Structure 1
Amino acid sequence: MTVKKIINHLKRRLSVMAAALVCASPCALALPPDAYAAHSVLAEGSWSKISVETSGMHFIPASTLRSWGFSDPSRVRIHGYGGARITDLLSTETYTDDLPEVPALRTPQGIYFYATGPVGWEMEAAVFRRVRNPFTSAGYYFITAGERDGATPAPTGTPGCAAAPATDFLCPALHELEEAPMGEMGHNVYGEDFRLRPEQKISIDLPGRAEGTPVRLRTSFAVRSAGASTLEISAGGKLLGSPLQIPAVAEYHAGSAATASFLIPADGITDRLELTYSLRRSATIQAARLDFAEVNYTRRLALESGNPLLFTLRQPEGRLEGAAELTHVWDVTDPLAVSEMNIAREGNAAMWTNSATGQRSYAAWTEGMRMPCPRLVATVANQDLHDASAAPPDMVIITVDAWKGEAERIARLRGEGKEKLNVTTVSADLIYNEFSSGARSVNALRRYLKMVYDRGLKSGRQLRYALLLGRATADNRGLTLTEREHSLTLPTWQTDEALAEERSYTSDDILAMLDDGSGADARNNRLSIAVGRIPARSTTELKAYVDKLYDYENSSAEGQWRNRVMVVADNGDNGAHTDQAETFCARVDANGHPALMEKVYVDAFELDGGVCTEGRRRMYRLLDEGVMWWHYTGHGTEDYFTAEKLLTTSDITSLYLRRLPVLCAVTCSFLRWDGSEPSGAERIALKPDGGAIAAISATRRTFIGDNALINDALGRFALARGDDGRFLSLGETLRLAKNYIADTSPAAEGRTRYVLLGDPSMHTVMPDCSITVDEINGTPVEPGTQPVVTGLQTAEIKCTVTDPSGSTIPNFNGTAEATLYDSDRSTVTLGRPAAGTEGRRVTFDEHGDRLTVALDTVTGSRFTLRMHIPADIADNMRPATLNIAAFNRSGSRAAACHRDIYVAGTDLSALPDTVAPVIEYAVLNHRGFTDGQTVNSEPVLLARVTDDTAINLSTAGIGSTMTLRLDDSRTLPDLSSYYSPQAVTEGAAGTITYPLPRLTTGSHTLELRVYDTAGNEATATLRFHVSENAGPRISEVYTDTNPASTQARFYIRHDRPDAILDVEMEVFDMHGRRLWTARNSGRADSAGSSPMIWDLRDNGGHRVERGIYIYRARITDTSGHSSVSSAGRLAVTAR
């Protein structure tokens, strides 16, 4: 089903919302074209970047300007808006474009200007509350020199006062240290540590306090302890109010906080407030820290300390004492439109009446006062992200500077791929310069994307994707990171909540909310573009991941895994996880049964010592065979799935997969990518030698109700097609799923906790082309018909490869393979309780056992499958499943999963078959195995079997199932699943590659029994000895390029199929000098390695001369046992 059909269906159900529902190209609101400058001011001229730490008046001496390269201070201009936090709300009222000029006063001594730092104050309930920018510890500005004069504050107001002027004001003061977070979440960083010193004193200066006035204190304190704590706060030796009661920390909380406000009487207060904090505990304390102490007091409106005065008045009239001849009063309510008050002098007082009404902020200062001087950060090269003539991109890759090369590699991959995307790569630092006045900010990235998106809408080619290359961290300011670590991060949006995990999360959704007016409420804002992030922690890790992207895009691993989906569900919670998994499957199937669904539900298996052993075995077998989508629903943590150990940390380490799935884990915190340690999803997706190609999961705890919405929505779009007929990209799948939730459940917050680790423009390996079944045994397959094939019958199934529109592809020539599964069966779960929750028996349907497989050659898009149906079938007249895949040498692929075929009855006219199958060989680890040989403790059975008709793969019968018995006492499970067919002209042939479980040291026997579809039997017995010390053996090292002129490919044959090996290849000259070494680690292919390629250059990068060279190999297993090959010779020709 296409996205358009899904949307039309939703319109019929939700007519009220129909106008809001969109498909792959949504309508959106855009700022007017003139909201964006055609070019940035940084596009020309010479620029320097400066920083300030606080808000207030700043002075740059002329001598400092000259040292910075500005010879004429009178021509210096200042641009930017400092370090105030950028609001999440996108609107014309909140948007500041590029770098506006800052009004300043230029004197022969230097330049005075008002700067905005990262901490400000907002009025709330008649007192000031601090507002901190959680993304930066400084504000930034840009200075340049030009021919024109710079902006100056415009004079305003009336000198003098007609009414009673303000002579004092409410002044805020703050004590706040930022030393460590309570937990790795949220923006807040906490101060003094009280664990070893439970009583501590702090002091807050109150300069200019009006005598006889009280002081208002608001303070907050956090504790992490299993017991309750009590906090006493004293001022001047007097206890303030009642002691604060801080409760024991709740589960999944980083701490418990107590916030209180006090009115401190004027008695005994001087110009310094002395506070004492005394902590009393009832249990061991893991953390205890003061958060902040905010003070509001009445201050005289006077220049008394030799420093500038910042103040806020609610009335337009003011009287400032302590003024001098060169005193200025600036209205800095809007720091980009500073005005100078016209003042009248009366002795040492300055008086004015502001023409603007309402609450206004001021800075009063006298030339020559002590003022901070900004710090020179760097000289800035010209840049112009605002360039209106740039072609609108389909995709933007935002990267840290260190990873520009890898960003370009991804851009080339997508630019040269099927969609030929126009991809722009851009450094985050350049975005900060033009979109947040040089400060790190997640909303700088968003504002840049907003500009690109709006311009794309106007041009008709809108932005579709944004990919972030940068580690995620809750510590956006890098207070707890090294400089190197911080340089590899890109900012993350976080909730302000930093203690309660159920209310704290991080998400990249804000970057996709690009409609006007969006951002105020993340729960119901729609996503305009698809966003993903690759949170690598090193250049090496990122390069390995980009290598995986290239390998995935160009994967030669053909077969039915490309349309196989594995759905895994946890138990407990009254069967909710199983229900949600079934909903996901139903939604996927509603798109036309595009995939083969494999179900692994924990509650369908018995437990072995609390471990779901059989479920584990089935899940990992399917992963080994290959699935394109790995979907999990249930309980999880940052490190693992399920209490029944379905996926553990050690499993992740050893998850060496050749066919990479997309992992979607609908569970808690499995993609907590902003922690100090990588999450399970990061370890899987960023694993260089296996794992997954991408991951969708939650960054924090989620709730069952929200997960139900996610499962439902993802199922609708995971295998839906776009208007172009292609399956949706991974980013579009998640975007549309989230928009569906926003439209249908606007109050649901859970969707925002789910993020994409990976390239949002990436398509899965699911083939876009399909396969139709045209005839079965000569009977055309028409809609509504129920074709039946019978036991012992050789069914002929004629098929056609079609493009996404359903048209035949005449030039498709290649190979087709298919598997027929028996009729559906119903399974009832056990209904076990789990993790303190009730269980419930749930009935679910799944396809039957594998009956038979077939191969054929595709010619002109057409092929015929000849499938030999075994006698042993379920025979229950429920639908069977026929999964088909086709591929050709040019890389085109098709797949389909047909559910409109039935397997029932027996062909009574079938001729008797008395010819037994043949086991051509059955060995362990290597074809050179001999009976009685010593092997390692986890050997692999390798066998090839043939039959004149067909090998029986069914497990429905008794006594005719392919089996493998160990020591005549234990039947090893699921052998037929490890059978792979081979193309032959007559009869059937295939191989078995079966990894044995870990065996005890000593002598053992294996008996292999194979049957054909008529029940004829063949057996083979192996005798062998197991030793823990049996190391790997190299049987052959060879090259297929001898002599070599441009490169040499080396291959290694050994006796460790499917094992994790370190492989080392060396080349020496005839004097024994080592010229070249290459190493590779990973999972071995069968009994050999992928080629190791030598470009005929030595380790110094120089091309070797013509001559004879010696090569050899070494392999080492995970136990440290190794084997070195004999030497071979390679001839190298002249260049």
Structure 2
Amino acid sequence: MIKRIITIAFVFALALQAFSQSRAADRYAAHSVLASGKWVKIRVKNEGVYAITKSKLQKMGFNNPEKVCLYGYNLPILPETYIENINDDLTEIPVWRRNDGSLLFYTPGTIKWQRKQGSPTVFTRINNPYSAYLYFFVTEKTEGQPAEMEKVSATLENAPEETTTFPEHFIIEKDEISILNSGRAFFGSENYQNGNKKSYTLSTKGIAAPSVSLNIQFVSTNGSKLTVSADSTTFSQVTIRNLAEYEYGVLINRSFTFTKNLTESSTITLLHTRDTGISGYLDYIMGFYTRKLDLTGSNYLAFRSADSSSSKKYAISGANENTRVWCVAPDQICEIAGTLENGKYIVNTDQDSQKKEYVAVNTNATFPEPEIVGSIKNQDLHALSNIDLVIIVPASNKLTAQAQRLADAHTQYDSIRCVVVRADEIYNEFSSGTPDATAYRRFMKMLYDKAGKVSDRPKNLCLFGDGVWDNKMQTPTMSKNNPDDYLLCYESENSLHHTDSYVLEEYYTLLADAKGIKPLKDKPDCGVGRITVTTANAARNIVDKLIGYINNSQAGTWKNTICFMADDGNANTHMKDADGVAKQIETLYPDYRLRKIYWDSYNREESGAGHSYPGAAKDIMNQMEEGALIMNYTGHGSARMLSHEQVLKRSDFEEWSFPHLPLWFIAACDITPFDMSVENIATTALQNPKGAAVGMVTTTRTVYAAQNSKINLAFMRHVLSQKETGRQYTLGEALAQSKCDLIGNGAMSHRDSLNKVHYVLIGDPAISLPIPTYKVKVDKINDTNINDETIQTISAGSIVSVQGHIVDEDGNEAPEFNGIISPTVFDNLELVTCNNNQGEDVTPFQFYARTRTLFTGSDSIKNGRFDFTFPVPLDINYSDEKGLMCFYAINSEKSIEANGAFHDFAIGGTNENISNDLQGPVLVASLNGEKFSNASTTDSIISNVLQSSSVTMHETPYFIGVIQDKNGINTTGSGIGHEITVIVDNDPNMTFDLNRTFKYETGTWTTGSVYCSLPELSTGKHKLLFRAWDVLNNPSTLEVEFDVRQGLKPNLLSLQIKGPVRNNELTLIIENDRPNSALNIDVRIFDMTGREVWNGKETGASDSNYYTYTCNLNGANGHLQPGVYICKASISTSNGAQASDSKKFMVVAQ
């Protein structure tokens, strides 16, 4: 329906090649005209002549009409190509001044008409997809005179014949509904399913010839026929084909020429013949006819030439002494000199062209007045330069404070230059106040062009606000929303096909000259990401998460894990693709532990609701709890779920409460069609205040597996690597560079082009993965030096010592590094054969994975060196193949991290000096802090142990188990029945494998712990059996009896305030007896007079007995003044029972 503007100007292209970077910078004013003076924004809705009356000017605050002037672009929509040639900043528009102090001006409105190539009397039109209004600015000049229309005249040597007609156009159109909720096309809401015949009156005022050309565009939701009639005479019948795959409507466009005598009241009738259930909607009826140059009964008449000629003599009927003719071409606004002769106004023009537009005006008539939007504050975006991160927020200003917090965090922790800009400020300087997506791009291009060197160009654009396909909010479902709460989306012309329709986020990042002609194949010049949010509260939650990620508040071993997930079926395609990416990572980045959760390697269960993979779902949940740097999924999906088996649902992303935030890459269809205004996985995950994701690279539309693999490989390669500058790629840069790789020299298929466009970043594009910068190196195993020629073998039942050191980014030893190292030791790779659960005619897929964990512990690092010891259990593979040691280290100041991996050792055989110990480990069980043990009190590894007494618990107790054995603990989980387990009431469905949670205490390989949250238990007595094994496969068990009682209130054991309050942030540490349980936190702050000065609430859970709550004391009443205050914290559960404690604290002067 609406065609993208493509203005191909060869002369411009030649000129662009000559521009240097300095010339590019010279295109821009040093300061915007809006930087000083009084400015009032006005707007108009339709094409026509408008009057700004003296009283209207006085209402705006202007009392001297002679000094008032009008600024703006007066373009229906900004061009999308060669944007470097658009006038910079606002330009003054010449106006017609009347003696009464009013100003007249003409505007084409928001519809751009342009002649069809090769046909001077047929037009196409482009409807502004972003705004129903055109905006201007009124100001008062303090120096010089305002611009007035210059009068120009032409002397014709050979007087041509009078021109008394012109080619006119009209359109019958209503933009009310969307078929797909995608793209720029909108249709009339009248459904031909409800009465399949509709008539429309043609707008042929002043028709001068019998011929009328019509262009009709109509959409049907399936195969049917459309019959076209005019004044009861049938002219054509169009057969509409059936829908193709992924298509939601068939759009037909037909042109007709009627030569019968039509009148100004003639009608056209459309008959839609179709089967039941098929809908049809009119897009538009566009008409072209020859119209008389007659001003009779009108205050103005816009007209144009029918051909290109060196001169014209226009004779306009119905004129009077107040008639004037203006030239209103975009590059020339002036009065054309003319004379009144016998009721005709005669004007001569020379060098006339088809680009010229004229308006005959009765300058003494009454015209509509523009609407006053309001005064604007002075602004000066043109003064900006050398910005790394641009954050655009919606015009409503609701999200600005949170966006500024994010910018400040980037500046503080990443040392990058940021600016937060409201969308309306960008419109003001770069699209004359009219909402237009190209304004964002023009602003970014200005920063790009003004950069003195490449390092000063913008690196990322963060669209800090949601967007929808219906930018004008004109459909019934969107009309209730305020456009100022959203940022614009650049939508495709195609609005009916789920793969060919798109939202193009990188449109704003096409910054080099001459880009935009082929936006699908143009390489982005910086990164872009969108934070899909509309409310301040949701924005605060997101920014809290992002700042915690940026300042590395959750350091830990989880950063060493990358998890790959793959769907079943499709001839193993998804597993092959996922495993291909995993192999790339294993080759390029061997320091990571790769976890593989492929659906088909699990048992598939069947029920009335369909198939499911509960084992895969459980392992994903466990991995999220443990944490992962990246979660990467390949397969089927939708906005509501991953895979047809619903292994993950949107509700999972909504409910997860885990502190470690992974980056998700999801190669599946329709995961985040954010612009379609549907609840989706990516937005849900980002807005989850307690976890789920730091961001997500995923799809907005239907995508194809072959192309998915390409962008998955490219993105994973870049996001884990560094740029030439030595800095880590940000998420936005990594995605942009991945798309550049795919584009290559531009010789890519249409499907390849579309597929990459469908991938977007939902999240902050300026964030980098928190990859450790230092490296861990192994020097010795069992006091034997490591070398490239010898591979040492460690055997079952042996005790292994490992020594090594830390090196910095340059590979130099780091003797200043003191802290903790956390090693994890894995057995060799095992070949896993999948089940072919789909029963396809294929060989079951096979892949390699490390399924046995031999040791997870920690030890100290002193002066850059470490030495730790671990036992090798009997339950190994005995393969004599290579194992893996993964390392994570952090210094005492938590300012430097290191990681690394060691592969050059084998695992196999049995130690000749194995112990003959037959004693199982000592066990201690803790339920919500109440402790039980299988050992005597004097032998117990934890004091204050209850021996056999039963205690009372709430419905969801939290279990912690401590295990001690002089030979070490078996955590491989590979021996039959050798898992560390908890069994409640001897119920197989209440049996929990805790191997994955086991971790040795720092500096020892004899004592460690496990944990789990028990599901909700019924009221009454219960038994819990805790079982564990040592590395020699000696078992121990501990049985605990306890009562469950509903309604028990939580215990608030202590309330601590962390340090003095600075920057108006108060951090509370709330010790309680409900770890991993949902708690309602209520915090109130009082001054010493008892007056409440602040309050806050949240619901969350902590993985320990300590809940951290941060109070942002910048509230509606401003920040707290220095002094002493009382903080009261209350905790409660869903039953409402509450416990409270209070503490004094001091706010110090900033």
Partner of residue 886, structure 1:
889
404, 418, 421: which is aligned to 1:423? Answer: 418
Paired position in structure 2 for 1:207: 205
Hey, what's the Cα distance between the residues in 1 that align with 2:531 and 2:951?
48
* 1:107/1:1075 CA distance change after superposition, 3 Å: closer
Q: TM-score, normalised by structure 1?
A: 0.89
Distance 1:576-1:840 versus aligned 2 partners, 3 A rule: farther
With over 3 angstroms needed to count, the CA separation of the structure-2 counterparts of 1:558 and 1:734, relative to structure 1, is same
Name the CA distance, whole Å, in 1 between partners of 2:1088 and 2:737: 63
- The aligned counterpart of 2:1029 is 1011
Q: In the alignment, residue 115 of structure 1 is paired with which amino acid?
A: T
Give the partner amino acid of 1:300: K
User: What letter matches 1:546 in structure 2?
Assistant: V
| 2:372 is equivalent to residue 376 of structure 1 | yes
SS at match of 2:332: coil
Whether 1:291 aligns to 2:283 is: yes
Cα-to-partner distance string for 1:877-903 (whole Å, 9 max, x where unaligned): 333221111112322343434252333
Alpha-carbon distance in structure 1 between the residues aligned to 2:1059 and 2:80: 64
Instruction: Determine the C-alpha separation between the residues in 1 that align with 2:1114 and 2:73.
Output: 56
Q: CA offsets per residue over residues 1006-1057 of structure 1, 9 Å max, x none?
A: 43322222223222123456x6x73454234323469999999765555543
Change (3 A) 1:674 1:1134: closer
CA distance in 1, matches of 2:504, 2:1112: 44
The structural deviation recorded for 1:942 is 1.9
Structure-2 change in CA distance of 1:1006 and 1:88 (3 Å): same
Report the 3-state secondary structure (helix = DSSP H, G, I; strand = E; otherwise coil) of the residue aligned with 1:714: helix
The equivalent residue for 1:115 is: 107
Give the residue type in structure 2 aligned to 1:1123.
A
1:928-986 deviations in whole A, cap 9, x for unaligned? 687655656655432111122311112333454434445556384642111122125x5
Residue number among 739, 761, 769 corresponding to 2:774 in the alignment: 769
Q: Which residue of 1 aligns with 2:387?
A: 393
Query: Residue 399 of structure 2: SS of its match in structure 1?
Result: helix
Deviations 1:421-474 (A, max 9, x none): 121222221111110111111110110110111111458522212212121111
- Which residue does 1:871 correspond to in 2? 874
SS where residue 69 of structure 2 aligns? Answer: strand
Which deviations, in whole Å up to 9, do the C-alpha atoms of 1:349-389 show, x marking residues without a partner?
514242244553222223224543322222232222112xx
Q: String of CA shifts for 1:455-502, please: whole Å, max 9, x gaps.
A: 114585222122121211111112244576321111111101122111
Aligned pair 1:942/2:960, yes or no?
yes
- For 1:869 and 1:378, locate their aligned partners in 2 and report how far apart those are by CA, in whole Å: 76
Q: How far apart, CA to CA, are the structure 1 residues paired with 2:791 and 2:915?
A: 28
Matches within 5 A, 1:174-323: 174-194=171-191, 195-211=193-209, 213-224=210-221, 228-242=223-237, 244-246=238-240, 252-267=246-261, 269-284=262-277, 288-313=280-305, 314-316=307-309, 317-322=312-317, 323=319
Q: How many residues matched?
A: 1088
Which residue of 509, 512, 518 maps to 2:509?
Answer: 512
Mapped pair 1:859 → 2:862:
yes
Q: Structure 1 residues 273 and 307 mapped into 2: Cα distance closer, same or farther (>3 Å)?
A: farther
Could you tell me which amino acid in structure 2 is paired with residue 688 of structure 1?
P
CA distance in 1, matches of 2:1135, 2:532: 35
Instruction: Report the TM-score when normalising by structure 2.
Output: 0.88
CA distance in 2, matches of 1:641, 1:1132: 48
1:206-225 per-position Cα deviation (integer Å, ceiling 9, x unaligned) = 111014x221222223344x
Q: In the TM superposition, what is the alpha-carbon distance from 1:233 to its structure 2 partner?
A: 3.7
The 5 Å alignment of 1:573-588 reads 573-588=570-585
For 2:944, the equivalent position in structure 1 comes to none
Amino acid at match of 2:915: P
Corresponding position of 2:15: none
Q: 1:1096 to 1:565 in 2, by over 3 A?
A: closer
The answer on whether the counterparts of 2:399 and 2:534 sit within 8 Å (CA) in structure 1 is: no
Give the Å deviation of 1:569.
1.1
Contact 2:922 2:965 in 1 (8 A): no
SS in 1 for 2:742: helix
Q: Percent identity?
A: 26
CA displacement, residues 318-361 of structure 1 (integer Å, 9 cap, x when unaligned) = 4323144443333333x232244344665425142422445532
SS at match of 1:35: coil
Structure 1 residue aligned with 2:568: 571
| Kept in 2: contact 1:176–1:291 (CA 8 A) | yes
Taking the aligned partners of 1:656 and 1:529, their CA distance within structure 2 comes to 33
Task: Tell me the equivalent position of 1:903.
Answer: 906
Distance 2:808 2:624 in 1: 28
Map 1:540-939; keep pairs closer than 5 Å. Answer: 540-609=537-606, 610-743=611-744, 746-747=748-749, 748-749=752-753, 750-783=755-788, 785-833=790-838, 841-914=844-917, 916-927=919-930, 939=957
CA distance in 2, matches of 1:584, 1:1042: 44
**Alpha-carbon deviation of 1:248?**
5.8
Please state how far the C-alpha of 1:150 moved relative to its aligned partner: 3.0
- Secondary structure in 2 aligned to 1:446? helix
Is the contact made by 1:177 and 1:190 (CA closer than 8 Å) also made in structure 2? yes
Residues 1037 and 1049 (structure 1 numbering): CA distance in 2 closer, same or farther, change over 3 Å?
farther
Q: Note if contact 1:1036-1:1052 (Cα within 8 Å) is conserved in structure 2.
A: yes
**8 A contact 2:822–2:888 mirrored in 1:** yes
SS at match of 2:858: strand
Is the 8 Å Cα contact of residues 182 and 255 (structure 1) preserved in structure 2? yes
Deviation of 1:819 (Å): 0.6
Distance 1:111 1:395 in 2: 42
Q: Are the aligned partners of 1:47 and 1:143 in contact in 2 as well (CA < 8 Å)?
A: yes
- Partners of 2:482 and 2:530 in 1: CA distance: 17
Which residue does 2:1051 correspond to in 1?
1035
Gaps of 5+ in 1: 1-26
Residues 567-595 of structure 1: CA deviation (Å, up to 9, x unaligned) = 11112222221122122222323333132
- SS class of match (2:658): coil
Helix, strand or coil for the counterpart of 1:712? helix
Alpha carbons of structure 1 residues 884 and 917: separation in structure 2 relative to 1, 3 Å: farther
Report the alpha carbon displacement of residue 30 of structure 1 after superposing the two structures with TM: 8.0
Q: Distance in 1 between matches of 2:716 and 2:687?
A: 25
Q: Which amino acid in structure 2 is aligned with residue 658 of structure 1?
A: P
1:602/1:1019 CA distance change after superposition, 3 Å:
same
- Closer, same or farther: CA 645–447 of 1 in aligned 2, 3 Å: same
Match of 1:978 among 972, 979, 997: 997
- Note the C-alpha offset of 1:818: 0.8
CA contact (8 A) 2:153 2:349 kept: no
Deviation (angstroms), 1:814: 0.7
Alpha-carbon deviation of 1:920? 3.7
Q: What are the superposed Cα offsets for residues 640-674 of structure 1, whole Å, 9 maximum, x if unpaired?
A: 11111111133223211111111111111212111
- Kept after mapping to 2: 8 A contact 1:1052/1:1113: no
Call closer, same or farther: CA 1:767–1:171 in 2, change over 3 Å: same
Matched AA of 2:30: A
Secondary structure of 2:1039's aligned partner: strand
Deviations 1:1073-1099 (A, max 9, x none): 999764321123334433577989999
Q: Is contact 1:832–1:840 with CA below 8 Å preserved after alignment?
A: no
Partner of 2:1099, secondary structure, is strand
User: Which residue number in structure 2 is paired with residue 1079 of structure 1?
Assistant: 1097
User: For structure 1, which segment, 1062-1071 or 360-369, has the greater mean C-alpha deviation from structure 2 after superposition?
Assistant: 1062-1071
Letter in 1 for 2:571: N
Distance 1:201 1:636 in 2: 44
Aligned partner (choices 127, 139, 142) of residue 144 of structure 1: 139
SS of equivalent residue, structure 2 residue 930: coil
Matches of 1:523 and 1:1129 in 2, distance apart?
Answer: 60
**Deviation at residue 1066 of structure 1 after TM alignment:** 6.4
Indicate whether 1:1121 and 2:1142 are aligned.
no
Quote the Cα distance in structure 2 between the aligned partners of 1:1110 and 1:143.
53
